[in-house]
């Protein structure tokens, strides 16, 4: 069966839009509530810092890094930890990679840890992304999105998403979409400066 030329031209655009929509929704996606009922201190539904008395414990997260090494994010409790959910296929992830790396480099001297969570990806492209973008912090390989599903109270419901975990192991902030060095650095320093 032969497709008409206008229909055949529209098929790739439809498939691309379905693929992109599949990254942020679906029947088995995490809860995609807005932030208005979550107790954010100034910010909007996508970004904000939670008041200390409204923070919920982050779930235990462990898995395998892109190089195959086992890794337990929960062992970082006692430090401020930044989790960035990304994919090599994600244009906003490429746009924010330098900002994340610069923030990592400028805050690690105060004990801040960074961990990427690579989702819906393959090891080869993910490893190449880290090399090309100059990302030096470790990344969990999570092709099925199982790590994201564990964050039910404050889900990473878009790619990229960045979560900041405080020293007590609670989710302190969330950025849906690409984050800038200026915004992330300010939040990381705010969370790191809080009394424990």
For residues 53 and 39, what is the distance between their CA atoms, to the nearest angstrom? Answer: 9
pLDDT digits (tens, 9 = 90+) for 75-86: 999 999 999 999
Q: 49 near 40, Cβ under 8 Å?
A: yes
pLDDT digits (tens, 9 = 90+) for 54-82: 999 999 999 999 999 999 999 999 999 99
pLDDT digits (tens, 9 = 90+) for 89-115: 999 999 999 999 999 999 999 999 999
In a domain? residue 86? yes
Q: Quick count: other Cβ atoms within 10 Å of Cβ 20?
A: 12
Predicted pLDDT of residue 191: 95
Q: What's the farthest any 2 CA atoms get from each other in the chain?
A: 68
In a domain? residue 1? no
In a domain? residue 8? no
In a domain? residue 16? no
* Cα three-residue angle 19-101-184, rounded to 5 degrees: 85
In a domain? residue 122? yes
Lowest mean pLDDT segment, chosen from 133-137, 161-165, 191-195 = 191-195
**Structural domain containing residue 128:** 26-192
Q: What region, left, alpha or beta, does residue 145 occupy, with left being phi > 0 and alpha being psi -120 to 50 degrees?
A: left
Is the pLDDT reported for residue 2 higher than 70? no
CATH (domain of 127): 3.40.30.10
In a domain? residue 17? no
pLDDT digits (tens, 9 = 90+) for 7-43: 444 444 433 333 333 344 333 333 333 333 333 333 3
For residues 171 and 163, what is the distance between their CA atoms, to the nearest angstrom? Answer: 7
Residues whose CB is less than 8 angstroms from the CB of residue 130 and which lie 6 or more positions away in sequence, other chains included: 66, 116, 139
In a domain? residue 97? yes
pTM, two decimals, is 0.77
Q: How many domains does the chain have?
A: 1
Q: Give me the chain's average pLDDT, please.
A: 82
In a domain? residue 19? no
């Amino acid at each position: 069966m032969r497709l008409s030329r206008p229909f055949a031209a529209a098929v790739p655009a439809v498939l691309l839009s379905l693929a992109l929509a599949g990254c942020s929704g679906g029947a088995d996606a995490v809860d995609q509530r807005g932030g208005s009922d979550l107790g954010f201190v100034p910010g909007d539904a996508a970004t904000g810092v939670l008041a200390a008395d409204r923070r919920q414990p982050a779930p235990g997260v462990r898995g395998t890094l892109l190089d195959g090494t086992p890794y337990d994010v929960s062992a970082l409790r006692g430090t401020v930890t930044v989790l960035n959910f990304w994919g090599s296929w994600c244009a906003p992830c490429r746009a924010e990679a330098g900002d994340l790396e610069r923030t990592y480099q400028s805050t690690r001297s105060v004990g801040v840890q960074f961990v990427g969570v690579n989702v819906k990806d393959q090891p080869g492209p993910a490893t190449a992304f880290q090399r090309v973008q100059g990302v030096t912090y470790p990344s969990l390989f999570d092709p099925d999105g199982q790590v994201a599903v564990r964050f039910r109270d404050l889900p990473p419901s878009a790619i990229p998403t960045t979560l900041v975990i405080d020293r007590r192991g609670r989710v302190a902030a969330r950025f849906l979409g690409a984050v800038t060095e200026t915004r992330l650095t300010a939040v990381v320093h705010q969370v790191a400066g809080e009394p424990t």
